[in-house]
Structure 1
Amino acid sequence: MAKTIDQVDAQASAEAILEKYDRESNYRRNLGLWTWVVTFIAVALTVFHLYTSYFGTLQTQIQGAVHLGTALGLIFLLYPIKSGLHRKQTGVPWYDVLLAFTSVFVCYYNVFQYEELLKRTVFGYTSLDIIVASLGVLLVLEATRRCVGMPIVIVAALALAYALWGSGIPLFSHRGFSWSILSSDLYFKTDGIFGVPIRVSSTFIFLFLFFGVMLTKTGIGKYFNDLAFALTGRFTGGPAKAAVAASALQGMISGSSIANTVGSGSFTIPMMKKAGYKPEFAAAAEASASTGGQLMPPVMGAAAFIMAEYTGIPYSEIMIYALIPAILYFTGVFLGVHFESKKQGIFGLPADQLPKMKELLIKQGYLLLPLIMIIYTLLSGRTPMRAALIGIAVAFLVSFFSKETRFNLAGVIDALEQGARAALPVIAACASAGIIVGVVVLTGLGAKVAGGIITLADNVLILTLFYTMIACIILGMGLPTTANYIVTATIAAPALISMDVPVMAVHLFVFYFGIVADITPPVCLAAYAGAGIAKANPFKTGINATRLAIAAFIIPYMFVYNPALVLVDYTPSSLVLALISAFVGMVGISSAVMGFLIRRARLWERISLFIAGLCLIDPHFILDIIGYGTIAIMFFIQSRRPVDVEASNSVGQSYGM
């Protein structure tokens, strides 16, 4: 019974942390009579997407209007006006019901007036059109504030203010726009709210989020944890390495670094603390790995689908191009965990405490079938929409392999409802990101920012990369993955594209630095969520997460200077050399940051190792010689030094390498 109470307490604690750091979790629990209305609308929304994915999508504007209008209605029914009210209120207040129905009306206005609105783009909009557009913009921002949070709303509001009053701003001035022109352009044309983000959200993203829900219903989350511990648990730093591996696996299907941190961290963080890691490090390991999950194909936090639209590169190819950088990221986190574990003398877990790999693969290997099928379908050239549909169908069939996960009618309805609920924050974020994109297109802000960055950097690539990195981290603070990428790709990417950096390298560069904002102080929400579980200092956790994820700050520079890492202009030999340089460079930088190579590193050794790692970023013969040579010398010097007393005394017991 005590175990059950502990599990309940842990779950309650995880929910409280999610509500604190993840705005998506602040929804009403007690809807009263509105429960059936919400269930019906949510199920209908999911069925709509399943139907259109199989029989063909509607006109872009109509598909997007149904998608967004229904989602906004659900958001106002589910999310209260103020955080914290969701546990106090019973039912839905009248004003939220009014906002829900108004949202449906203004979005479905695009459906019923579709033909007329096409004509009005030429002949001018009516007063009713302007009122509808104004309400649409404001309702999108309010819905986003409720279920995503203020950061993206602030950016969108600043974008609107810039469009209205930015004509007098030095360097970034434009001709100025009235509210009627601005609101109608953002709401009725395809460069604003119903632009690329909502178009992709209403086709690919929704289905992949539903696919993630279906996988969760089959119990794949626990399976990933068991698989990770079976793979890495016996080695040095086994609990922390298992947490990294589990988060990488779960991140492939998760759309949120915060949710991933809390979901897997509720299990992995206490285990890491028990093994002897400090709370700040345990929380940081989980947060850095969970954040990296957004970089891991095939889903990549759903941003990969929008990347395909922006770049014109098929999604199946983006998935391949992004694989090596993602593997390098997790390699970097593994190295950080390994060096810290060696320094602290924390080793592996005994075999009798670990799941058996053979049993996992034989008895539960079928749980991997949905992922295998979706990747196979994508690589065979089918559309992402069809791949998601096949993955959903296979996940449904796989659920019948076990009595615990088998779907009945109630289970199917619940899965359909949860699919819609999971998509609501993403839909709202994409709509608000559409406002930002619309303003950038309307005012030409992207080109102005690009010009400003290049001028500031004096056309020097390394400085342009650095300033773009800073811009992406600032723009990415507090934004969910999809909105994060949309904003950084729209505002920051043009600077690098204008300097002839390969398109794939540019978009992955801004994507990476937008994502690592989740673990970069001061606004490192994933690290704060992990700190809540570990009962650790949030800021120290952010610092530790940044140290562990130092690879995420280095790898983007590597694949810009050496595009072979993203499979651009490469040969097999150049790719092998690039991988070796990247790995050795990360060993140097990670050991310098963690303060341990094969012995505790002295200050001058850490500085030498860090410089050596940086030398391996740019593929240049002299720099490579310096980098490889310095790291080899550090290995030799430390190998001649006596074993550290601290590292020789294990915190736990040694059960592995």
Structure 2
Amino acid sequence: MSEKEKKVRELSAEEVLQKFDKESDKRELTGVWGKIISSICILFALFQLYTATFGVLDAHLQRAIHLAFGFLLIFLLYPSRHSWSRSKMHPFDAFLALLSAGTAMYLVVNYQELVLRAGMNTETDFIVGLIGTIMVFEAARRVVGWPMIIVAFCFMLYAFLGPYVPGILAHRGVGVQEMFDHLFFTTEGIFGTPMGVSSTFIYLFILFGAYLETTGLGKFFIDIANAIAGWAAGGPAKVAVLSSGLMGTVSGSSVGNVAGTGAFTIPMMKKLGYRPAFAGAVEAAASTGGQLMPPVMGAAAFLMAEFVGVPYFDVVKAAVIPAMLYYIGVWLGVHYEAKKFGLKGTPRDQLPKFKTLFLEKGHLAIPLIVIVYLLVSGYTPMRAALAAIVLTIVCACLRKSTRIGFKQIVQGLIDGSKGVLGVLIACATAGIIIGVVTKTGVGLKIATALLDLAGGNLLPAMFFTMITSLILGMGVPTTANYVITSTIAAPALVQMNVPVLAAHMFAFYFGIVADVTPPVALAAYAGAGIAGANPMRTGVIAAKLAIAAFIVPYIFVLAPELLMINATPFTICYSAFTAIVGMWGASMAMIGFCNNLLNIPQRILFLVGGICMIIPGVFTDGIGVALIAVAYVWQRMNKVKGAIQQDGEDL
């Protein structure tokens, strides 16, 4: 690869990030302003590390200072208008940075007085709360984008217009001052649970991820994936699946993952002979799955533990088998696509050697192993992340080729503080939604409406919850995605005696898979941008590859043992095995190939048989085995064998 080709490809990835990921479209400042922003980032990181080491402050204080730092950095880094320069500071943004941070620090400075007044807020309090809430909306617009703003704004309108809403959703209404006091001066609004998790666990894990990236772990993941799977049929596509899954363990963004690993894997796939749309779709599906991959799950795992009220490790444990099934489904889809079109792997002599890679850079993965061990051993996520950050720096210094100096350590603090901004402001905006829900009871009302629509039956209720989660999840970051779907959609399933963790995981899955579900499939559109493919076609293919994400949630609601809830080792293994066989059948149906091309009846047999295998129960498993066996024998008898020529249009 020439330096010129590499530069063009990196530029393409950067353009894709700026187009599809609002969080990446920020100023890159030098000179005085660059030093000021770097200093704020370092102070932010030191504050978080200090409180993680010596104990967090009172909830409102910790969260207010966290938001104040976030406000400063967001308004300084993200311009008000798209047309404004990314290399110069605008005075208006500097003014808003100070104004917004001042509203958060008002809570810190007047904390004792506010506590003594115990909710008896003054006119000044109301003005500060109003301005602070408006600043949250404006900051979210810059970093997260309009979808999140529209959802939060609709909830605000609902709070004020409650008496005029017809039917079951009507309520007495909330006064303007009452609403803003509730949102800004309690821990049930902007400074609620999401902000609490952001100001403790999430920041540390993002800082951990920043240091892992600094040490070169991302490139190591791609090289390892190449060494393991690059030689197989459709090698580069399998590399994309494997490397994106590995990156997903610490990544917090589907689009960011597409741009990060896709800049390498998509051109490799196209060079091998994959259609551009399929190459983009593979990376989009694999990167989206990273948000479902423990231990971080796009930072949603920490929120889920708080919302459900279970230990963090229980959430991680529950997510393991569904995430495996998801990636197995994508891997099988890639495999049969390669078989269908006769796509070979990369010659072994052009691939890195696994043993060499492991000896040279294997030590970089030690912090990941240690953090999992600490979490299993009962350490809090905060302590585990803190230890992992220190260990990452120490491990990088074990070999000269990966050693990082003081300058890179400081840069890691800066990158971590910048990296948390999207999650931070999404959590603050999600707090507005939660504040309205707690004030109006709309979550229970929507759940009741969904149950009435479903006639009290579980499967229709699951279907309507799926549609609601897909709509609410469109264009929304992972953490906010979970907060919205768990608040609005999950209660319907909880009312039908579905285990709380299963209900929340169900809503979360479909909120995440919105990233590859047309028409608003941001991850698929990002992949299409790098691949130079039709975005809608890429989205359709990505949704087909992600078929597991549309099936598995239904299964773990019907069979919670897939989430390791009230399960024995035998039931876990049996359910996982039958689900994998089912994914095999469904993947062949989606691609239309096994050993030969499949006709329509054969695809239907494989699909129905696969779904029957995934559905828990000996009877359905028996039907599934029979249907898959019939389809398999039938296609083996076909006279037309082998690969076909690509026409560029097949979906």
Structure-1-length-normalised TM-score: 0.96
Does residue 46 (structure 1) correspond to residue 45 (structure 2)? The answer is yes
How far is the alpha carbon of 1:401 from its aligned partner?
3.0
Does residue 28 (structure 1) correspond to residue 24 (structure 2)? The answer is no
Contact 1:26/1:84, CA 8 A, preserved across alignment: no
CA distance in 2, matches of 1:567, 1:313: 13
Match of 1:242 in 2: 239
Does residue 297 (structure 1) correspond to residue 294 (structure 2)? The answer is yes
Of residues 125, 128, 143 in structure 2, which corresponds to 1:129?
Answer: 125
Match of 2:277 in 1: 280
Contact 1:218/1:398, CA 8 A, preserved across alignment: no
1:336-387 Cα distance to aligned partner (Å, 9 max, x none):
1111111111122221122111112222110111101111111110110000
Match of 1:147 in 2: 143
CA distance in 1, matches of 2:286, 2:85: 30
Does residue 308 (structure 1) correspond to residue 305 (structure 2)? The answer is yes
Match of 2:155 in 1: 159
Contact 1:561/1:617, CA 8 A, preserved across alignment: no
Match of 1:8 in 2: 7
How far is the alpha carbon of 1:95 from its aligned partner?
1.4
CA distance in 1, matches of 2:408, 2:352: 29
1:486-501 equivalences in 2 (<5 Å) = 486-501=483-498
CA distance in 1, matches of 2:331, 2:252: 22
CA distance in 2, matches of 1:79, 1:383: 34
1:259-288 Cα distance to aligned partner (Å, 9 max, x none):
000000000000001111000000000010
Determine helix, strand or coil for the equivalent of 1:616.
Answer: helix
Match of 2:177 in 1: 180
How far is the alpha carbon of 1:405 from its aligned partner?
4.0
1:145-169 Cα distance to aligned partner (Å, 9 max, x none):
1011111011111111110112221
Contact 1:280/1:541, CA 8 A, preserved across alignment: yes
How far is the alpha carbon of 1:32 from its aligned partner?
4.3
1:181-232 Cα distance to aligned partner (Å, 9 max, x none):
0011011111100000000000000000000000000000010001111111
CA distance in 2, matches of 1:547, 1:606: 14
Match of 2:194 in 1: 197
Code of the aligned partner of 2:62: Q
How far is the alpha carbon of 1:12 from its aligned partner?
1.4
CA distance in 1, matches of 2:91, 2:82: 18
How far is the alpha carbon of 1:140 from its aligned partner?
0.5
CA distance in 2, matches of 1:160, 1:120: 26
Does residue 351 (structure 1) correspond to residue 348 (structure 2)? The answer is yes
Code of the aligned partner of 1:220: L
Question: Displaced runs of 4+ in structure 1, greater than 4 A?
Answer: none
1:523-546 Cα distance to aligned partner (Å, 9 max, x none):
000111111110010110000100
Structure 1, unmatched stretches of 5+, are 652-657
How far is the alpha carbon of 1:34 from its aligned partner?
1.2
1:489-529 Cα distance to aligned partner (Å, 9 max, x none):
11111000111111221111111111000110000001111
CA distance in 2, matches of 1:347, 1:5: 27
Match of 2:69 in 1: 70
1:243-282 equivalences in 2 (<5 Å) = 243-282=240-279
1:302-348 Cα distance to aligned partner (Å, 9 max, x none):
00000010011111221111111111110010111111111111122
1:609-648 equivalences in 2 (<5 Å) = 609-647=606-644
Identity %: 48
Match of 1:82 in 2: 81
Does residue 508 (structure 1) correspond to residue 501 (structure 2)? The answer is no
CA distance in 2, matches of 1:645, 1:312: 53
Does residue 457 (structure 1) correspond to residue 454 (structure 2)? The answer is yes
CA distance in 2, matches of 1:54, 1:100: 28
Determine helix, strand or coil for the equivalent of 1:85.
Answer: coil
Contact 1:27/1:86, CA 8 A, preserved across alignment: no
Contact 1:212/1:253, CA 8 A, preserved across alignment: yes
CA distance in 2, matches of 1:126, 1:401: 58
Does residue 562 (structure 1) correspond to residue 578 (structure 2)? The answer is no
CA distance in 2, matches of 1:86, 1:243: 35
Determine helix, strand or coil for the equivalent of 2:420.
Answer: helix
Contact 1:280/1:534, CA 8 A, preserved across alignment: yes
Code of the aligned partner of 2:270: K
1:410-435 Cα distance to aligned partner (Å, 9 max, x none):
22221111110000111011000110
How far is the alpha carbon of 1:31 from its aligned partner?
5.1
Match of 2:387 in 1: 390
Determine helix, strand or coil for the equivalent of 2:260.
Answer: helix
Contact 1:29/1:86, CA 8 A, preserved across alignment: no
CA distance in 2, matches of 1:247, 1:556: 21
CA distance in 1, matches of 2:189, 2:142: 21
Determine helix, strand or coil for the equivalent of 1:533.
Answer: helix
Determine helix, strand or coil for the equivalent of 1:646.
Answer: coil
Code of the aligned partner of 2:136: V
CA distance in 2, matches of 1:645, 1:587: 19
How far is the alpha carbon of 1:621 from its aligned partner?
3.3
How far is the alpha carbon of 1:552 from its aligned partner?
0.6
Match of 1:485 in 2: 482
How far is the alpha carbon of 1:645 from its aligned partner?
4.7
1:8-37 Cα distance to aligned partner (Å, 9 max, x none):
221111111110110011111235421111
Determine helix, strand or coil for the equivalent of 1:521.
Answer: coil
Code of the aligned partner of 2:4: I
How far is the alpha carbon of 1:622 from its aligned partner?
2.9
Contact 1:217/1:405, CA 8 A, preserved across alignment: no
Contact 1:347/1:650, CA 8 A, preserved across alignment: no
Code of the aligned partner of 2:135: L
Does residue 214 (structure 1) correspond to residue 199 (structure 2)? The answer is no
Match of 2:327 in 1: 330
Contact 2:183/2:432, CA 8 A, preserved across alignment: yes
Contact 1:557/1:617, CA 8 A, preserved across alignment: no
Code of the aligned partner of 1:237: G
Contact 1:345/1:650, CA 8 A, preserved across alignment: no
How far is the alpha carbon of 1:607 from its aligned partner?
1.6
Contact 2:238/2:331, CA 8 A, preserved across alignment: yes
CA distance in 2, matches of 1:7, 1:597: 37
Distance 1:592 1:134, change over 3 A: same
Contact 2:339/2:643, CA 8 A, preserved across alignment: no
Structure-2-length-normalised TM-score: 0.97
Code of the aligned partner of 2:84: L
CA distance in 2, matches of 1:333, 1:636: 24
Of residues 229, 233, 238 in structure 2, which corresponds to 1:232?
Answer: 229
Determine helix, strand or coil for the equivalent of 2:187.
Answer: coil
How far is the alpha carbon of 1:52 from its aligned partner?
0.6
Structure 2, unmatched stretches of 5+, are none
CA distance in 1, matches of 2:110, 2:477: 32
Contact 2:363/2:396, CA 8 A, preserved across alignment: no
CA distance in 1, matches of 2:516, 2:378: 35
CA distance in 1, matches of 2:468, 2:412: 39
Contact 2:215/2:404, CA 8 A, preserved across alignment: no
CA distance in 2, matches of 1:37, 1:149: 26
Higher mean Cα deviation, 314-323 or 259-268?
314-323
CA distance in 1, matches of 2:646, 2:468: 43
Code of the aligned partner of 1:202: S
Contact 2:262/2:283, CA 8 A, preserved across alignment: yes
